[in-house]
Structure 1
Amino acid sequence: MGEIGSAEERDGFAPPDAVAPEFVARWSRGRDARSRAPRSHQGPWRPGADRTDPVALLEGQATTRDLDIVPLRYERMSASPFAFYRGAALLMAADLATAPHTGITVQLCGDAHLSNFGLFGTPERRLIFDMNDFDETFPGPFEWDVKRLATSFAVAGRHRGFSADEVRACVRASVVGYRKAMRRAADSPVLDAWYDRFDAESARRRIRAERDRRRADDVTVARLDAVVKKARKRDRMRSFAKLVHVVDGQLRIISNPPLVTPVEDFLPGAGTDVDEAALMRGLLSEHQDTLPGEHHPISEYRYRHMARTVGGIGSVGTRAWVVLLSGRDDHDPLLLQAKTAQPSVLERFLGPGAHDNEGERVVRGQRLMQAASDIFLGWQRVTGADGTTRDFYVRQLHDWKGGIDPETMTPRGAALYARICGETLARGHARSGDRIEVAGYLGRGRAFEEAVCVFADTYADQNERDFTNFRDALAAGRLPTMGVAPSKESP
């Protein structure tokens, strides 16, 4: 017997007559993309015979970073296959680019692994859950982010010792969460889809409801409560107390090399010359021009001190600064983080971007994907004495920041977290791309999620092979090392 009804009805989309024709056309474009990239062909991962040496890719990437810090990055990546995966966004981008893709473009996070989601404060002083790392953001095919997120749960689950079934449940949950959230966005009124967000209180209610259905445990509930409580305490005053002291009556960032290096220890002659303060005033003024509104609170702050810092695994080696400002008096501090913005790892595979300034690329991508963004989020370009330029994006150092520690996740807790991350990624894609076209491609069936589950499993195997080759390169002296123990958390 043949299938009954139209293609849209068979796929679960039977739009009422009142729906505008252009919305129906967008859904149809998504379904048509299946001919370019069938959903069942999204997995497994099969490396080609000409696959680029992953260690060579990392060596090439290191040439654009501060070479004295790169060995610390390698040491952190060598801790586990999951730590390696976190630093290997370039390797995965190179691999994803070898396969056909849907051509359905959204603003990609570019590095959508499970540790790049978390809690932070909004300008309205609400605590929300969202993506929080956009160094690699770039327009591209939506499924690249989905595959990177799903694979991160496969890699992390194996690292935690979960069974094969438990790992697969986590991976599937991330893709199901994405598909269903995208479908809700496609079916929603335009502004409802745009304003959708997931705050901390919603997360608490959600997890307690899952516990009542026996799909979450008391440990997961307790850990979420602890994360929320900790995030609310992790604000600018806590960072100020931890990072700043008074020297000769002046506020100074505490030295802790190589993780925190005051500017006077890093740049000869800095810290004693009034030109440093004058330079920073100029840079902050330029940064203010990229912030929303005509009168911004940053105009009331003055520069006090700065230090070079080391970021997370993927960012180690890219220059980053903590800038200390004060407002009304020394008890009214503001700590900003200025991070170097290099070209996205996706750019070499997807073509040139729309922004000349890489800092602007990061900021505009973040503003597109996040439900709410830091009011100090902006960008600037710095020209050195030798005429070279560096692009930076600037944000508050900490503002109610919190996250889930993957090292403590239980299998059921990880599966629930995976679903929430998938839903969150879908919200970001729905705001930045055509949510209806994506939903049209995904449909209601399980073809896409089954294929991505297979992809995640086989790419986790690839990640383990690459990790072994990476460790061998370190042991053989091909890659540099340093005698500094990795820090779990740095400013």
Structure 2
Amino acid sequence: MSSKQQNRKPKDTGQARERAKSGGISSSGAAEPVMQMPRRTEAFARLARRVDEEALVLRPRDLTGQARRLHLRSTIIEDHAVRIDQKASGADEKFRLLAGSLFAFFRGTSLLFHRDMAGDDARMPTVLCLGDVHPGNFGVMPNADNVPIFGVNDFDDVIYGPFVWDLKRGTVGFMIAAEEQGGLGRGRQRKIAKSFLKGYREGMEFFAEHNTELGVEMREDNCPKIIRPLFGKSSRSRRDWLAGRYLDENGRGFRASAELTPVSSRVEEFQQLVTALAKQKGIEAGGRHGPLRVKDVAMRHGQGTASLGLPRFYVLLEGPSEDASDDVIIEFKKARRSALEGLVPAHDFDAGEQGDRIAHGQSVHLAQGDVFYGNVEIEGESFMSRERAPFRNDADLDELSKKQWKRYARACGRALAQAHARSDDLGQLDYDIEPAILQAMEPAALFIDDILCFAEEAVARLRRDHEMFRRDLSLGAFEVTEKRYR
């Protein structure tokens, strides 16, 4: 027997396996051989700073072949690490959804998309970016008076950054959706994306001239014709909506379904949260909100794309009539960090952390938005809150004609322009943003062509990424998180 074999310590297979699962430091204080891979947020933040400071820096988008595949895999695992480790059913469901559709893959991999842009456009004016612009993130929702309005409707990724980041992601989104949902060719996709960009410029010119971004709402009576059908659900009664989808036969609480699992034992806990939220938002008992009394609580399953698998609760509040016909439903969804965090160029503005950041985004982007948008803490985690409504509605993209696609894209561009224009009134910007953006978009033809060329390259890269993702998924790449070994 060699001296090396004589000095080798006996293996403790069971304990070693347990330590490999947990990682970290053992009870004896010794370093473990396996540890969880850390998030690379700060590493990419350093990359973004280098892009701004140096003449030429390679980004992940420059990778090809197997190197790109490994980057893609690591990024998606990192973005879903908690859901994978917890064996959340929503994680498997989300990965299957992403595999089945290029548009779903685009929607569900915002971190991958934005890491390719790390540090870009540092010279461009900063706004409160929506962060995840695409045709599905515009729609009808309630304002402060529970009146349906059209506008941007997903604030999970809001962050201060260059205004062009929203235009770039939106342009890519319209191109992919027009192909997959509309069955349209490349030439038509480019025209639709161009309409989105022109709509944005038109909106910015309008608000620069009239300064009405604070008070203007896109309602059924003043919205573009293409948007009016989305208001169809606004006439649906709350009674029918509640009884048809949510309430049990007595109207006293939620009914169990594939979407909802009642957790009535948590009513008192959520009553305290609702009371704290009402105080935070200045919501008084009475009026259409009723006594702000919690009737029931349920866990919500299988909703969203990017947030699929994250914890989500529905809370049922007693309505003013107390007969279950006008009850109010408040949603609490776990807040995640913005996919753009650490990637946008350096600036002087801070939207806040997690739920506070999301609430800030809604308050800035929407004229008289939902009063229940806020932030609470549940079991030590940040959750955002908002009201559910019978008339929340998005466009049926697969039903749009060729002409309707262009009109819808133009309307969305104008809605995004209003959201950005409000960054200096209700956001943290200390200068008039509209003239700066219009100046940065000159010459207009060149600016639009640059965005379209970026989008075409990004779509081609997404196709390759999607194929690599599907291959990795079939080989079990996303069943466990990556570990670092000594």
Q: In which range does the TM-score fall when normalised by the shorter chain?
A: 0.7 to 0.9
Q: Is the 8 A contact 1:57 1:90 kept in 2?
A: yes
Q: Is the 8 A contact 1:231 1:402 kept in 2?
A: no
Cross-structure match for 1:262: 262
Cα deviation 1:243-273 (Å, max 9, x = unaligned): 33437x672322223x32222xxxxxxx3x5
Q: Does 1:60 align with 2:78?
A: yes
Structure 2 CA distance for aligned equivalents of residues 176 and 71 of structure 1:
39
Larger Rg: 2
SS at match of 2:256: coil
Cross-structure match for 1:286: 276
Q: Is the 8 A contact 1:119 1:200 kept in 2?
A: no
Higher relative contact order (CA 8 A, sep 6+): 1
SS at match of 1:195: coil
Cross-structure match for 1:229: 232
Cross-structure match for 1:177: 199
Cross-structure match for 1:484: none
Q: Is the 8 A contact 1:377 1:393 kept in 2?
A: yes
Residue in structure 1 matching 2:328, options 326, 334, 337: 334
Matched length: 402
Aligned partner of 2:62: which letter?
P
Cross-structure match for 1:16: none
Q: Does 1:373 align with 2:369?
A: yes
Residue in structure 2 matching 1:164, options 180, 186, 193: 186
Structure 1: tracts of 5 or more residues without a match: 1-35, 38-44, 208-220, 264-270, 482-491
With the length of structure 1 as denominator, give the TM-score of the two structures: 0.76
Cα deviation 1:422-464 (Å, max 9, x = unaligned): 1110110011141221111113631111111111111111111
Cross-structure match for 1:397: 388
What does 1:350-369 align with in structure 2 at a 5 Å threshold?
350=344, 354=350, 357-369=353-365
Task: Quote how far apart the aligned CAs of 1:173 are.
Answer: 0.5
Aligned partner of 1:161: which letter?
G
Residue in structure 1 matching 2:308, options 306, 310, 316: 316
Structure 1 CA distance for aligned equivalents of residues 273 and 209 of structure 2:
45
What does 1:105-120 align with in structure 2 at a 5 Å threshold?
105-120=126-141
Cross-structure match for 2:338: 344
Percent of residue pairs bearing the same amino acid type: 24
With the length of structure 2 as denominator, give the TM-score of the two structures: 0.76
Task: Quote how far apart the aligned CAs of 1:325 are.
Answer: 1.6
Aligned partner of 2:235: which letter?
R
Structure 2 CA distance for aligned equivalents of residues 225 and 432 of structure 1:
27
Task: Quote how far apart the aligned CAs of 1:375 are.
Answer: 2.1
Task: Quote how far apart the aligned CAs of 1:232 are.
Answer: 3.3
Task: Quote how far apart the aligned CAs of 1:355 are.
Answer: 5.7
Cα deviation 1:85-105 (Å, max 9, x = unaligned): 111111111112153433421
Task: Quote how far apart the aligned CAs of 1:357 are.
Answer: 4.3
Aligned partner of 2:79: which letter?
Q
Residue in structure 2 matching 1:199, options 219, 226, 251: 219
Cross-structure match for 1:443: 442
Q: Is the 8 A contact 1:194 1:431 kept in 2?
A: yes
SS at match of 1:286: helix
Cross-structure match for 2:254: 253
Q: Is the 8 A contact 1:171 1:456 kept in 2?
A: no
Structure 2: tracts of 5 or more residues without a match: 1-50, 53-59, 425-432, 481-486
CA 1:427/1:58 → structure 2, altered by over 3 Å: closer, same or farther?
same
Structure 1 CA distance for aligned equivalents of residues 385 and 412 of structure 2:
25
Cα deviation 1:254-306 (Å, max 9, x = unaligned): 2223x32222xxxxxxx3x5xx3321221111111221356675571211211
SS at match of 1:75: helix
Structure 2 CA distance for aligned equivalents of residues 403 and 464 of structure 1:
25
Q: Does 1:127 align with 2:113?
A: no
Structure 2 CA distance for aligned equivalents of residues 338 and 419 of structure 1:
32
Structure 1 CA distance for aligned equivalents of residues 352 and 397 of structure 2:
36
Cα deviation 1:18-73 (Å, max 9, x = unaligned): xxxxxxxxxxxxxxxxxx99xxxxxxx96346767223211111123362321111
Cα deviation 1:406-433 (Å, max 9, x = unaligned): 1222221111111111111011001114
SS at match of 1:254: coil
CA 1:236/1:380 → structure 2, altered by over 3 Å: closer, same or farther?
farther
Q: Is the 8 A contact 2:270 2:315 kept in 1?
A: no
Structure 2 CA distance for aligned equivalents of residues 339 and 90 of structure 1:
19
Aligned partner of 1:194: which letter?
L
